[in-house]
Amino acid sequence: MNAVPFDAIKAARRLSDLGLSAEKLPKHIAIIMDGNGRWAKARGFPRIEGHRRGVRSVRETIEECAELGLEQLTLYCLSSENWKRPQRELDMLMRLLEQYLVEERSEIMRQDLRFAVIGRREGLSDGVLREVAKTVEISRNNRGTRLCLAVNYGGRQELVDAFRRIATRLCDGSLTVDAIDEEQIAEHLDTAGMPDPDLVIRTAGEMRMSNYLLWQASYAEFWVTSKCWPEFRPTDLHDALRDYANRERRFGGLSR
């Protein structure tokens, strides 16, 4: 399937209609997709139904970010702590993720998305690992929004892995202690080469980071909605973008 080329003029018009401008957009949005299980339970559905319904929110949010020209969208799909959940739910999540990768691959190519995954591969099913590898490879030369899925991911876990990589380089002499700085640490994270998130969105009203991009999100703006993830729509994304555009980001400095 041929990719739909990004239309900057069309995107600028849409942004104008939304009361936004490209200059005020975040380069990178990271989302904590919370509340799937609670949404399902409140309606008498099994928890996995909430995850299924959440796929629609994923699809619509990705498409909207691509059309608006955002550089990167990172979605928190499965945390390293989620393995504590019932095995049946975990098995269903693996199957749902594998199904998503297969069914949405044509859309990823049509929207010219660059696909990436962060997090440890241990524990993921063979099917998920196979489809992840296929999607990363086939989208390698795309030039649109980078779609990054955080799967079996935890911020502290990522830092431990980064420090182990640095320690290995110290031992083999390819890195010196004096050379270790913030840039070196960032280069050894799962997100090496990616911009830090400017905006973190969380659904279901929770006011915590949940071990998500702890290093990268140190200066990110935080936006929370009481809606559960299956209820999240592009209009909610627009509200978050407007709120972000009206904030002054001082990065520890003084107001201008």
Pairing of strands 114-118, 146-153: parallel
Predicted pLDDT of residue 179? 97
Predicted pLDDT of residue 226? 98
- Which H or E run contains 37? helix 36-42
Predicted pLDDT of residue 254? 63
Pick from 133, 128, 100, 104: nearest CA to 116: 133
Residue 14 · residue 67 · CB < 8 Å: yes
Please list the pLDDT of the chain residue by residue as tens digits (256 residues): 678 778 888 999 999 999 999 999 999 999 999 999 999 999 999 999 999 999 999 999 999 999 999 999 999 998 988 888 888 889 989 999 999 999 999 999 999 999 999 999 999 999 999 999 999 999 999 999 999 999 999 999 999 999 999 999 999 999 999 999 999 999 999 999 999 999 999 999 999 999 999 999 999 999 999 999 999 999 999 999 999 999 988 766 666 6
Predicted pLDDT of residue 81? 86
Hey, what amino acid is at 27?
A: K
Predicted pLDDT of residue 250? 72
Which residue in 7, 34, 181, 246 is the catalytic one? 34
Q: Is 152 a catalytic residue?
A: no
Predicted pLDDT of residue 253? 63
Here the tokens at position 200 are: 């973190």
Residue 222 · residue 183 · CB < 8 Å: no
The 8-class DSSP code of residue 113 comes to: P
Task: Spell out the residues 6+ positions from residue 193 whose beta carbon is closer than 8 angstroms to its own.
Answer: none
Is pTM, for the whole model, over 0.85? yes
Beta partners for 65?
none
Which residue in 82, 142, 211, 236 is the catalytic one? 82
Domains delineated in the chain: 22-154+197-243 (3.40.1180.10)
Predicted pLDDT of residue 141? 96
Q: Is 34 a catalytic residue?
A: yes
> 60-88 pLDDT, tens per residue?
999 999 999 999 999 999 898 888 888 88
